[in-house]
């Protein structure tokens, strides 16, 4: 079957082309309910309109930004617009109109800003101190006058909307008409109330189908809504009430003092207060790729732009829908999300089966009509027509339409959405936020994970463990102050504390209880905590020195530098970062008296040995250095050489508990784990060995990798287990080659702004939720909220569960399809009647569609999923093992039902006027119990023990019990509507026994070996199933 689908129903798992999307949609020809089936599919027309709107807004911004000079000259010539301040704003003490404030920043009106007295003047007019920030008590007033920092969102869909969607099923609409006509013809023909039973039965069945469908879809929508809410939890650091703390970007108000650093998204429009080397990417707003420097002369920030480099503070001036970003946000979700490859493939399967079903339905109707007309002709009644004849033909038509209802597996693509929604909700509980549906699906096929070290494999709770200073290696314990003061001179200690407290982008603040809290990265927090242990005061150091310039740390420079004016009038540069980089910049070292002395080559080697010794003990190493700058003419230029080495610091970052087991789980599952880190190679190797990543593979450094030829890379990449001192570009190159050279399905972790290209290039981008920047999160498919490698393994496990659960459901549904179609068609051809009525077929459709999807598509993963190899690219979704089970169960069910239909009366010795009704009810009951037991069989496609873990899935058990209970009600109590009669206990027992024989049939089928398709799998990967087990493993 899938050979027919390859051409039209193949899309990329990430960023599929519009041509591929349009191609598969054009190929979908038989759809009962487009409104529901394509509910979770991107609306290309809306998407095009939204893109057009975005382009218009961006062009408007671009013009405002790049033609502002001429525009402002024109404004000056013609006079500025006047804004009348609202009375409530005046009463609250504000003296600038919200629209005027918005206009100054949006149009980068530097003259307008100066007219109002610059950033200090604006701060006065909106009643805020640039040091203290806004008062918490003022928040409601500011939100009332200047607005909320939230964006217009589409209203949520109500339950009735989902009912309305379900009612758009064409076949159900036809059956409604048939039911109404049946009632209209039945009453005069068969009298009241008998004449309404068939019609009302169909209407009740339709009502039940619609309600169950709507409830299922509505619950899915609530799950997606919860996930959307989680996606919007973005926090930023602000100063309020004189304290620095984190708040949600949606709680920002005009007047807030926001602290920006690399990777932050600017959360509102604002004006620069202070900062260092701020470089802003405005491409998301203006479309211009060239980043913009922000400083005193160009002080404007626009909401939605991103901080590429530097750090600083800004004053919030405009929030929410008054910003251009707010207008853009309105258009972001228009058109919906791209469909996943599995959804597309199953749309193709549904189309093929739908065509077959439609053919069978038409043939069944034609056979029934031709036989009926032939019988009338043979009985010389061809000219004698009555309303009962019309009712018979109407029932034939209703049966044919119901066959289409059953035959077109509308639930296949929707089952993927159901399974993904369920998996995403469970992953949310396990601290993983899935941003794109397809990522959850693709993660199940991952063959390689390229992971960071810090915070992902390690705890990210860092402490200074060792210090090499004044040619002495000192173990740092709780009594660090006493040890260091006894070992080194006061002058050396003073220079060390300057390097720690000045050259940092973090801050030490006090909470309400007077306790010190460090705000910043874990590495800097460890250094500051070490400095505080030495008994020094962070604020006192910062007040004593004036900071002139800062070059913040990033993953390319691998160092942070700072220029500070000394109290005595000199200028001093400080530098810290990757040990070998800083060591190369030094030509002097601080001696035991605190004096800079020459650093000979021999001592450089000794220090390198110290660094490697620290690193081999799994410590992160940093070097701290300083340089006194004599030439004041270059006070704003930080030197790159001639530094004096102060100390080598070894920071301990323990491996997370459970990481080694998680890595071993990956290896058992055929997933290669590679560590890609910016750390020292010895540190990386030590941690990698502790985690079980580095075994017999290769560990190398980024510069060595970059210098290789393509042929050398092709040879070494499969053996790489650790890459240290890597740049983001190295990670991107590795990911690209793994995907293109080796057809690997690659998952990549990232936390920094520069990781965005690798996250985007990978099959699954995994951003860190705690340490990850907003830029990294925006480019990721999954956000690991606890930064833990074990959570990544859980995502892979759930991805595999989604894939296997959909396979189970497809096997189950196709079996029901085959049996229902063949049974009705053969019966119509031979006997001239169909054993299953429209109402019964509608109930069967609900069992195999909505209820079947709920039971099988939501099963939790079992540990066995991570003991098989990943599914390779291009492997058939419907495997040979599935076809074996489908065909085998279909043959058994058709044989049983065929014998009952043609010889049931004789075999069971049924007699009397109701013998036909009893037999048809028995056939219906047996058919349903065959599906109940087949649903249990479908829990495992290859293993014999299908009861393993059954009590872990309460949804499955609930569906099974509900199906059996409702079947009893239909047979015993709703006979008039469902064309059934009550059965004796012996016939109930027979129905259950015949259904349960399916369990034995499954055992026999699973002992039949099937050839495995390995033509599309990558090296060491197969189609997702283990070789057929034998002996004890068969269960």
| Secondary structure letter of residue 835 according to DSSP | S
Residue in 217, 452, 653, 940 annotated catalytic: 452
Non-local CB neighbours of 965 within 8 Å, separated by 6+ positions? none
Helix (H) or strand (E) holding 683: helix 681-691
Count how many residues are written for the chain: 1035
Render 441-476 in DSSP notation, one character per residue.
HHHTT--EEEE-STTTTB----EEEEEEETTEEEE-
- Longest Cα–Cα distance of the chain, Å, equals 125
Q: Are 721 and 698 in contact (CB under 8 A)?
A: yes
SS3 label, residue 116 = coil
Helix (H) or strand (E) holding 301: strand 300-301
Q: Residue 905: CA atoms inside 13 Å, Cβ hemisphere, count?
A: 9
59: tokens are: 């062009």
Gap between the Cα atoms of 464 and 462, Å rounded:
7
Our CA dihedral for 870, 873, 878, 880, rounded to 10 degrees, sits at -70
Cα first-last separation, the chain: 30
User: Strands (DSSP E) along 394-454, which ranges?
Assistant: 432-434, 448-451
Gap between the Cα atoms of 912 and 716, Å rounded:
81
Q: Are 680 and 453 in contact (CB under 8 A)?
A: no
Query: Across the strands, what pairs with 560?
Result: 576
Q: What are phi and psi of 1025, to 5 degrees?
A: -120, 145
| Secondary structure letter of residue 268 according to DSSP | S
SS3 label, residue 962 = helix
CA angle 918, 923, 926 (to 5 degrees): 120
Gap between the Cα atoms of 848 and 842, Å rounded:
10
CA-wise closest residue to 945 among 1027, 1002, 897: 1002
CA-wise closest residue to 934 among 958, 908, 963: 963
Q: Are 806 and 415 in contact (CB under 8 A)?
A: yes
Non-local CB neighbours of 584 within 8 Å, separated by 6+ positions? none
Gap between the Cα atoms of 759 and 768, Å rounded:
11
Gap between the Cα atoms of 157 and 336, Å rounded:
14
Non-local CB neighbours of 838 within 8 Å, separated by 6+ positions? 175, 178, 198, 201, 202, 205, 395, 398, 399, 401, 402
SS3 label, residue 699 = strand
CA-wise closest residue to 231 among 333, 160, 349: 333
**Phi-psi category of residue 620: left, alpha or beta, with phi > 0 → left and psi -120 to 50 → alpha:** beta
Active site residue 452: yes
Residue 631's Cβ-count burial label (10 Å; 0-12, 13-18, 19+) is exposed
CA-wise closest residue to 209 among 171, 161, 156: 171
Gap between the Cα atoms of 925 and 575, Å rounded:
80
Gap between the Cα atoms of 77 and 100, Å rounded:
18
Q: Are 971 and 921 in contact (CB under 8 A)?
A: yes
SS3 label, residue 629 = strand
CA-wise closest residue to 444 among 810, 749, 797, 782: 797
Active site residues: 452
């Amino acid at each position: 079957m899938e050979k027919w689908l390859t051409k039209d129903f193949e899309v990329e798992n990430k960023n599929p082309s519009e041509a591929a999307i349009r191609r598969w949609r054009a190929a979908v020809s038989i759809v009962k309910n487009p409104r529901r089936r394509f509910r979770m599919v991107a609306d290309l027309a809306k998407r095009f309109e939204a893109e057009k709107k975005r382009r218009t807004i961006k062009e408007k911004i671009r013009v405002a930004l790049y033609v502002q000079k001429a525009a402002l000259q024109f404004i000056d010539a013609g006079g500025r617009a006047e804004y009348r301040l609202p009375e409530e704003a005046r009463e609250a003490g504000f003296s600038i109109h919200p629209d005027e404030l918005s206009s100054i920043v949006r149009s980068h009106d530097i003259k307008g800003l100066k007219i109002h007295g610059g950033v200090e003047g604006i701060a006065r007019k909106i009643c805020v101190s640039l040091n203290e920030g806004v008062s918490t008590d003022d928040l409601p007033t500011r939100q009332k006058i200047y607005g909320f920092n939230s964006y217009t969102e589409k209203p949520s869909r109500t339950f009735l909307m989902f009912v309305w969607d379900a009612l758009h099923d064409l076949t159900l609409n036809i059956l409604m008409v048939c039911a109404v006509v049946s009632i209209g013809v039945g009453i005069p023909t068969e009298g009241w109330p008998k004449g309404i039973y068939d019609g009302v039965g169909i209407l009740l069945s339709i009502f039940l189908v619609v309600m169950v469908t709507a409830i299922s879809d509505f619950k899915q929508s609530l799950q997606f809504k919860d996930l959307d809410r989680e996606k919007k939890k973005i926090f930023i650091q602000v100063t309020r009430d004189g304290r620095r703390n984190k708040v949600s970007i949606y709680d920002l108000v005009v007047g807030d003092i926001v602290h920006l650093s690399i990777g932050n998204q600017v959360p509102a429009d604002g004006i620069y207060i202070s900062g260092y080397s701020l470089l802003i990417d405005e491409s998301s707003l203006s479309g211009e790729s060239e980043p913009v420097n922000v400083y005193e002369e160009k002080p404007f920030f626009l909401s939605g732009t991103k901080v590429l480099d530097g750090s600083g503070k800004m004053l919030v001036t405009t929030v929410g829908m008054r910003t251009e970003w707010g207008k853009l946000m309105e258009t972001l979700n228009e058109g919906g999300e791209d469909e996943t490859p599995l959804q597309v493939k199953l749309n193709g399967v549904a189309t093929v089966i739908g065509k077959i079903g439609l053919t069978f339905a038409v043939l069944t109707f034609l056979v029934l009509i031709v036989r009926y007309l032939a019988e009338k002709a043979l009985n010389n009644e061809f000219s004698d027509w009555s309303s009962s004849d019309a009712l018979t033909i109407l029932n034939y038509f209703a049966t044919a339409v119901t066959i289409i209802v059953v035959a077109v597996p509308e639930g296949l693509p929707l089952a993927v959405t159901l399974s993904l929604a369920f998996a995403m909700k469970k992953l949310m509980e396990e601290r993983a936020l899935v941003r794109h549906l397809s990522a959850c699906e693709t993660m199940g096929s991952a063959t390689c994970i390229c992971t960071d070290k810090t915070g992902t494999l390690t705890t990210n709770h860092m402490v200074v463990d060792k210090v090499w200073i004044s040619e002495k290696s000192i173990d740092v314990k709780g009594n660090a102050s006493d040890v260091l003061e006894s070992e080194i001179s006061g002058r050396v200690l003073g220079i060390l504390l300057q390097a720690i407290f000045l050259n940092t982008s973090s801050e030490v603040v006090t909470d309400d209880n007077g306790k010190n809290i460090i705000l910043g990265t874990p590495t800097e927090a460890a250094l500051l905590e070490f400095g505080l242990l030495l008994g020094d005061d962070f604020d006192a150091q910062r007040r004593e020195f004036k900071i002139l310039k800062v070059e913040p740390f990033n993953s390319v420079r691998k160092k942070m530098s700072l220029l500070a004016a000394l109290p005595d009038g000199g200028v001093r540069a400080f530098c810290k970062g990757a040990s070998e980089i800083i060591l190369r910049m030094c030509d002097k070292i601080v001696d035991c008296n605190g004096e800079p002395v020459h650093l000979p080559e021999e001592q450089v080697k000794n220090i390198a040995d110290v660094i490697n010794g620290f690193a081999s003990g799994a410590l992160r190493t940093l070097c701290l250095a300083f340089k006194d700058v004599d030439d004041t003419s270059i006070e704003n230029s930080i030197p790159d050489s001639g530094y004096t080495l102060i100390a080598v610091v070894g920071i301990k970052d323990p491996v997370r508990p459970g990481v080694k087991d998680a890595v071993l789980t990956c290896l058992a599952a055929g997933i290669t784990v590679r560590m890609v880190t910016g750390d020292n190679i010895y540190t990386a190797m030590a941690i990698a060995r502790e985690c079980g990543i580095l075994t017999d593979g290769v560990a190398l450094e980024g510069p060595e990798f970059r210098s290789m030829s393509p042929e050398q890379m092709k040879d070494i990449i499969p053996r790489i287990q650790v890459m240290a001192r890597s740049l983001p570009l190295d990670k991107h190159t590795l990911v690209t080659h793994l995907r293109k050279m080796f057809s690997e399905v690659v998952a990549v972790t990232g936390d920094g702004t520069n990781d965005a290209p690798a996250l985007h290039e990978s099959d699954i981008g995994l951003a860190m939720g705690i340490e990850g920047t907003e830029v990294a999160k925006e480019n990721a498919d999954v956000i690991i909220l606890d930064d833990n490698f074990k959570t990544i393994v859980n995502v892979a496990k759930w991805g595999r569960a989604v894939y296997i659960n959909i396979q189970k459901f497809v096997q189950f549904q196709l079996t029901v399809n085959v049996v229902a179609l063949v049974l009705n068609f053969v019966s119509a051809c031979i006997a001239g009647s169909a054993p299953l009525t429209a109402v019964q077929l509608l109930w069967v459709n609900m069992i195999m569609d909505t209820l079947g999807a709920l039971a099988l598509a939501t099963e939790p993963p079992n540990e066995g999923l991570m003991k098989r190899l990943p599914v390779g690219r291009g492997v058939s979704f419907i495997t040979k093992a599935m076809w074996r089970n489908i065909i085998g169960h279909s043959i058994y069910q058709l044989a049983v039902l065929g014998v009952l239909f043609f010889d049931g009366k004789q075999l069971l010795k049924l007699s009397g006027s109701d013998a036909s009704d009893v037999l048809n009810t028995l056939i219906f009951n047996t058919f349903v119990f065959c599906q109940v037991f087949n649903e249990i069989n479908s829990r495992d496609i290859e293993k014999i023990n299908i009861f393993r873990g059954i009590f872990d899935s309460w949804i499955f058990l609930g569906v099974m019990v509900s199906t059996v209970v409702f079947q009893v009600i239909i047979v015993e109590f709703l006979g008039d509507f469902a064309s059934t009669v009550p059965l004796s206990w012996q016939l109930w027992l027979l129905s259950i026994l015949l259904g349960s024989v399916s369990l034995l049939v499954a055992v026999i089928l699973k002992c039949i070996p099937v050839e495995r398709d390995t033509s599309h799998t990558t090296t060491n990967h197969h189609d997702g199933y283990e070789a057929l087990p034998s002996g004890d493993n068969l269960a």
